[in-house]
Amino acid sequence: MFRKAVIVIVVLWLAHNFSVFGQQQDTAYQIPDNLMKQVKVEKTEAEWLEELGSEKYNILRQCSTEPPFTGKYYKHNAKGTYVCAGCGAELFGSDTKYESGSGWPSFFAAIGKDKIKEVLDTSYGMVRTEIKCANCDGHLGHVFTDGPPPTGLRYCVNSASIDFVPDAKD
Ligand SMILES: [Zn+2]
């Protein structure tokens, strides 16, 4: 009687580990294609620091701000696309860039609302809306409501948070 029970238990244990549940586990870890596209860029802080260098790291990952009138894209009027310096996601088109007088690159719209994540920022005794890259969570700057038509928005962005990709010449 005891031996029979042991055999049954062993058989059940083998079935559990090597057939039914084993197969289910394999398929459970396959992420569907439509979810793969939403997976964000995730790296450790050490990996970001090594990849970005200290200046970009301090702004993109530590939410610092570059001094106004100093960034490389403050006075930059070429036609093209501004992409995230952290992950390369397309964020702003040059056709929405304008001179705001703030000293930072300014845009009245993002390429897509889903490209930018907005976060309430109450640091330094101010209530502001921080903008982050939706793909890698990199800090870009802030968005204000004193922008020009047609949106009335001013996306105020650190030059160090973006890279520029010029339009292909015909
Ligand atoms: Zn990014």
Are 72 and 21 found together in one domain? no
pLDDT value at 25 more than 50: no
* Cα 77 to ligand 1 centre (Å): 22
* Cα 105 to ligand 1 centre (Å): 17
Q: How far is CA 60 from CA 139, 140, 150, in A?
A: 4, 6, 28
- For the chain, the distance separating the N- and C-terminal CA atoms, rounded to the nearest angstrom, is 85
Tell me the per-residue pLDDT of 33-92, one tens digit each, with 9 for 90 and over.
Answer: 444 445 478 899 999 999 999 999 999 999 999 999 999 999 999 999 999 999 999 999
- The pTM assigned to this predicted structure is 0.76
Residue that the structure tokens 């204000």 belong to = 144
Confirm whether 156 is a catalytic residue: yes
Q: What's the confidence (pLDDT) of residue 102? A: 97
Q: Give the CATH number, domain containing residue 110.
A: 2.170.150.20
- Give domain status of residue 9, yes or no: yes
- Give domain status of residue 12, yes or no: yes
Q: How far is CA 84 from CA 5, 38, 113, 149, in A?
A: 63, 16, 15, 24
Number of structural domains in the chain: 2
- How many CB atoms are closer than 10 A to CB 167? 11
User: CA-CA distance, 147 to 156, in Å (whole number)?
Assistant: 10
Tell me the per-residue pLDDT of 92-127, one tens digit each, with 9 for 90 and over.
Answer: 999 999 999 999 999 999 999 899 999 999 999 999
Segments forming the whole domain that contains residue 26? 2-30
* Cα 89 to ligand 1 centre (Å): 5
Q: What's the confidence (pLDDT) of residue 169? A: 76
pLDDT over 70 percentage in the chain: 76
User: CA-CA distance, 147 to 136, in Å (whole number)?
Assistant: 26
142-145 long-range contacts, Cβ below 8 Å, gap at least 24? 143/116, 143/118
73-83 residues labelled b (16+ CB within 10 A) or e (exposed): bbeeeeebbbb
* Cα 130 to ligand 1 centre (Å): 14
Are 18 and 80 found together in one domain? no
* Cα 57 to ligand 1 centre (Å): 12
- Give domain status of residue 40, yes or no: no
Are 82 and 158 found together in one domain? yes
- Give domain status of residue 145, yes or no: yes
